[in-house]
Amino acid sequence: MAVFATTVYLPVAVATAASCALPSFGPGARYEPVIDPSTFTANVDNPWFPLKVGTALVYSGVKDRKQAVDVSLTTARTRIVDGVETRVVEDRVLLDGRLEERTSDYYAQDACGNVWYFGEDTAGLDRHGRVADTSGSFHAGEAGGQPGVFMEAQPELRRTFRQEWLNGQAEDTFTVVDLSTSVVVAHRQSHHALRTAERTALEPGVLDNKYYVRGIGEVVEKAVKGPREELRLLEIIS
């Protein structure tokens, strides 16, 4: 069995902690992080969540009681959201072999190496491939939408962040619950993976765990409360 390497990566830019103040967790109605677009880049190289252009991560598992394949591709495209140039990541979910969801996600990295999430365009598809549902879509800076912290440069145990905010549409939060846990995916093993707990007030009975490996990003997502769901990294295509 191969073992994941623990290569040390440095962020694109280095700045003092004071220049990259991260928002405190609090009620969504008062959640208004201060964003300076000049301090962000679409080039995301945070070691826990690197977005290398042209790389696709392929996951397989179970979702909605169906066999699932999820493909996440980091594109060369960028999009301005809330004044910030973000990287566009295209995500496709197939259930029992049929494309059921397509999403464009928008990420950017601040000068200290923290990754922020600036929104998404999500489309649920019907059996004929037509868009049937766009719930969950939001853009920071529009209609009250706010960006959130997706991954710290130096993850802090037990600190909670909003990953996104749009009342009734986008309310995901995450907490780092383990800084060094073991995980096995794609016949490779890591003893130093990062584990997070993710929740949303929109689904109070659901709790997900995600596992991240340095230099790769997310390798496992599984529900620990709520309907059975689990996706594991199957292949990296670059």
Match 């689990």 to its residue by tokens.
230
pLDDT band at 225 (very low <50, low <70, confident <90, very high): very high
- Tens digit of each residue's pLDDT (9 = 90 or more) over 163-201: 999 999 999 999 999 999 999 987 788 899 999 999 999
Radius of gyration of the chain (CA): 17
How many Å apart are CA 120 and CA 97, to the nearest integer? 24
- Tens digit of each residue's pLDDT (9 = 90 or more) over 134-146: 988 999 999 999 9
What topology does CATH give the domain 2-7+40-237?
YmcC-like fold (2.40.360)
* Residue spans per domain, the chain: 2-7+40-237
How many Å apart are CA 128 and CA 213, to the nearest integer? 37
Task: Tell me the β-bridge partners of 8.
Answer: none
Average pLDDT over residues 154-160: 96
The model's pTM is 0.90
8-state DSSP, 152: -
Q: For residue 106, which of 82, 132, 130, 131 has the smallest C-alpha distance? A: 82
Q: Is 204 exposed, middle or buried (0-12, 13-18, 19+ CB in 10 A)?
A: exposed
pLDDT in the model for residue 4: 54
Average pLDDT over residues 48-76: 97
β-pairing verdict for 2-3 and 188-200: parallel
Contacts 24+ apart (CB under 8 A), 218-226: 218/49, 218/57, 219/183, 219/185, 219/186, 219/190, 219/193, 220/183, 220/185, 221/59, 222/61
